[in-house]
Amino acid sequence: MTTFSLEKELKENSYPGRGIVIGRSADGKHAVTAYFIMGRSENSRNRIFVEDGEGIRTQAFDPSKLTDPSLIIYAPVRVLGNKTIVTNGDQTDTIYEGMDRQLTFEQSLRSREFEPDAPNYTPRISGIMHIENGSYNFAMSILKSDSGCPDSCLRYTYAYEKPLAGEGRFIHTYMHDGNPLPSFEGEPKLVDIPDDMEAFAAMLWESLNPDNKVSLFVRYIDIATGEKQTKIINKNMK
């Protein structure tokens, strides 16, 4: 399978939209995830990530400029026991509540579809990381319209058991900028995951389009101890 340069993928795409990376550090010791958001409208750009318990939520940077919170204010990251959920919308809560009732990741998402933001019908992308007794696996999902037609929802789940050291997968909402925005196609892309969280976060942030990038979250979880390191970068600063 082709390994993509995450740096190149981001630098050469002005608008991948929202993106999730999940994988394992090169030394094999850490479960790794990253989530970024971008925006073209003032409403989308008027956001920051803030820590919320063990997870994060989006918040309006300037509350007076917030027009429609429905698809932009949500909790992208929540932690349920030994599981970390990362998504691009309020389906984080759907997965959390479903798995809390013993549904699987995939079953929990069956009640959801792509976002209702015609004509883009933005895909819902989601990830779950599961660490237990020193073992680690993860899965990713995308729910998208059928080539822009809202009559049909296409559901794909990708499960990665015992992920290899230094490898991760990258999925994002849009293939590239456009009007309407074309949904992501294909499997999550194979990318390299380094050991250094600060360097990884810096590379991601520097590679995202400077006009469109809004916020970035990166987390490294020690697979043996469960200890978490988290980095948040917001373009909007007080």
Residue 11: which CATH number? 3.60.20.20
Q: What is the count of structural domains for the chain? A: 1
Mean pLDDT check: name the lowest of 43-52, 66-75, 122-131.
Answer: 66-75
Domain assignment present for residue 112? The answer is: yes
Q: What would the pLDDT profile of 17-26 be if each residue is shown by its tens digit?
A: 999 999 999 9
Domain assignment present for residue 232? The answer is: no
Give 132's contacts (C-beta < 8 A, 6+ positions apart): 82
Does pLDDT of 59 surpass 90? Answer: yes
Q: What is the pLDDT of residue 238?
A: 73
Residue closest to 143 by CA, chosen among 114, 105, 183, 178: 114
Averaged pLDDT for residues 42-56: 96
Q: What would the pLDDT profile of 167-217 be if each residue is shown by its tens digit?
A: 999 999 999 999 999 999 999 999 999 999 999 999 999 999 999 999 999
pTM for the full predicted model:
0.98
Q: What is the pLDDT of residue 7?
A: 98
Residue 21 · residue 34 · CB < 8 Å: yes
Q: Which helix (H) or strand (E) holds 135?
A: strand 135-146
Domain assignment present for residue 65? The answer is: yes
Domain assignment present for residue 158? The answer is: yes
Domain residue limits at 201: 3-224
Residue closest to 217 by CA, chosen among 23, 26, 44, 55: 55
Neighbour tally for 70: CB within 10 Å: 11
Q: What is the pLDDT of residue 1?
A: 87
Does pLDDT of 46 surpass 90? Answer: yes
Domain assignment present for residue 138? The answer is: yes
Max CA-CA distance within the chain? 47
Domain assignment present for residue 46? The answer is: yes
Q: Which helix (H) or strand (E) holds 99?
A: helix 91-100
Averaged pLDDT for residues 93-100: 98
Backbone φ and ψ for 51, nearest 5 degrees, come out as -70, 140
Name the pairing type of β-strands 77-80 and 83-87: antiparallel
Give 206's contacts (C-beta < 8 A, 6+ positions apart): none
Does pLDDT of 163 surpass 80? Answer: yes
Domain assignment present for residue 171? The answer is: yes
pLDDT band at residue 145 under the 50/70/90 scheme: very high
Domain assignment present for residue 234? The answer is: no
Alpha-carbon distance of 187 to 235, in angstroms, equals: 29
